[in-house]
Amino acid sequence: MNILIVTQYFWPENFRINDLVLGLIERGHQVKVFTGIPNYPDGTYFKGYGLIRQSRQDYFGSKVIRVPLIPRGKGGGLRLALNYLSFAICSSVLAPFLCRGKIDIIFVFEPSPITVGLPALVLKKIRSIPIMFWVQDLWPESLTAAGSVRSPKIIDMVTWLVRMIYKGCDKILVTSQAYLDKIEKVGVSSDRLYYFPQSAEEVYQPVVIESNAPEDGFMPTGFRVMFAGNIGAAQDFATILGAAEILKDYHDIHWIIVGDGRKRKWVETEVQTRGLSDIFHLIGRYPVESMPRFFSLADVMLVTLKKEPIFALTIPAKVQSYLACGKPIIAALDGEGGRLITESKAGLSCPAEDSNALAGAVLKMYKMPKSQLENMGKQGRKFYLANFERNMLIDRLQSWMQELLQCGVT
């Protein structure tokens, strides 16, 4: 098949769509990626990129076409709106001219914003190409959860836009089963909805690293609770810091943050203010390829989200990475995420935004025998292979694409 991937984010930005493109190429498909200029999460164009520079690239055999956008800056409301709208407008105007050649299927990758679907609708209107839309974030719920939009008029307008985009798609895929009812309520029939969870790149495997590994140099001695990923508002670092403060007399419990994001400076200030410098360590962002090595040095992995109705429907992508590496997990999550950790027997879950409960879960795992923690990790790995394994999911996606190709545009 000739597949066009439409995504605002793509390599060298770190998103799961990168690996999905590789999986489709491995299966012999011709893939083009229609995307923006990389600027996530720092908010500025990556080195070597600009409005014209690196507008055409090759990614393991896929052709990458980039369109201009306004970088997200520090992630404030106005700047994010400009970032979203600039990509939506530029991509919609340029798609008919830049996305030439044979295209059998358009596959849209949608973490926020929902407007990434607009250029796909333009191409469908002009060329009658079927669209498969992969929902990572529910809109408008994600906007209200982040607190960036409160105006009822804007919410109503976004809701109308969501309905229009969903109506124009032939198949809609969701990363959480809890999304299904929500999307049906905006007028999407169940026969167009498919559960397609995120997987993890093949690099995410259980590993044992050498005793003098460079990663070990970043690690304090003691019980290591590791969080990997974005340091943002949704990840609720106030609760993590609160739990760390509750347990600060346990000097050998260390909180290790591997990642970066727009809340990092606030976290660093809070660490100093609360006197947590000896036990709370922010060691920066590292490539995907090095993550399993860092994970191998942790005793438990940590995942958190704020207490919002939309987040209770969400399974954070890092959960699959943790499971794939066979690490025990502490999840301060409501709803689907917490349920998954309990069901997999991979660790402990507690309510979101509850520092006392999180501290209690950490302390409980701290006191567990190492063998019990290892067993949790093995249970998680087993659950991952049964439900989220990469090649199984890509094969499933490929079969749906072939089915859609046979059925044609709706």
Alpha helices in 135-263 (DSSP H): 141-146, 152-167, 179-184, 237-246
- CB contact at 8 A, 211 and 188: no
| Cis amide leading into 328 (omega within 30) | no
What's the pLDDT at 304?
Answer: 97
Judge whether residue 340 has pLDDT over 80. yes
| pLDDT grade for 301, boundaries at 50, 70 and 90 | very high
Structure-token match 């995504």, residue found: 7
- The whole-angstrom distance between residue 71's C-alpha and the CA centroid of its chain comes to 19
28/150: higher pLDDT? 28
Average pLDDT over residues 64-68: 97
Rounded to whole angstroms, what are the CA distances from 372 to 101, 250, 331? 56, 21, 17
What fold, for 2-199+389-407?
Rossmann fold (3.40.50)
d(CA 261, CA 145): 18
d(CA 139, CA 201): 26
d(CA 263, CA 279): 19
Which tens digit of pLDDT belongs to each residue from 289-298?
A: 999 999 999 9
Mean pLDDT of the chain: 94
Domain boundaries along the sequence of the chain: 2-199+389-407, 214-387
Average pLDDT over residues 183-195: 93
Which tens digit of pLDDT belongs to each residue from 197-235?
A: 999 999 999 998 887 788 888 889 999 999 999 998 889
d(CA 207, CA 281): 23
Which tens digit of pLDDT belongs to each residue from 17-60?
A: 999 999 999 999 999 999 999 999 889 999 999 988 888 999 99
Q: What is the pTM of this model?
A: 0.90
What's the pLDDT at 218?
Answer: 80
What's the pLDDT at 199?
Answer: 95
| pLDDT grade for 154, boundaries at 50, 70 and 90 | confident
Q: DSSP class of residue 223?
A: E
Burial code (b: 16+ CB inside 10 Å, e: under 16) for 180-213 equals bebbeebebeeebbbebbbbbbebbeeeeeeeee
Strands 2-6 vs 105-110: parallel, antiparallel or unpaired: parallel
Judge whether residue 281 has pLDDT over 90. yes
Judge whether residue 147 has pLDDT over 70. no
- CB contact at 8 A, 234 and 305: yes
Judge whether residue 146 has pLDDT over 80. no
What's the pLDDT at 407?
Answer: 82
Q: Which two tokens stand for residue 42?
A: 């720092």
Q: How much of the chain, in percent, has pLDDT values that exceed 90?
A: 84
Q: Which two tokens stand for residue 317?
A: 């992508």
Q: DSSP class of residue 310?
A: H
How many CB atoms lie under 10 A from the CB of residue 345? 14
- CB contact at 8 A, 333 and 303: yes
Asked, colleague to colleague, whether 2-199+389-407 and 214-387 share their fold, the answer is yes
d(CA 227, CA 330): 10
What's the pLDDT at 152?
Answer: 84
351/146: higher pLDDT? 351
Supply the CATH classification number for the domain 214-387: 3.40.50.2000
What's the pLDDT at 262?
Answer: 85
Judge whether residue 75 has pLDDT over 90. no
Judge whether residue 78 has pLDDT over 90. no
Structural element, H or E, at residue 364? helix 355-366
Strands 62-67 vs 56-59: parallel, antiparallel or unpaired: antiparallel
Reference 275, options 245, 246, 231; nearest CA is 245
Please report, for the chain, how many H helices and E strands are present, in that order: 15, 14
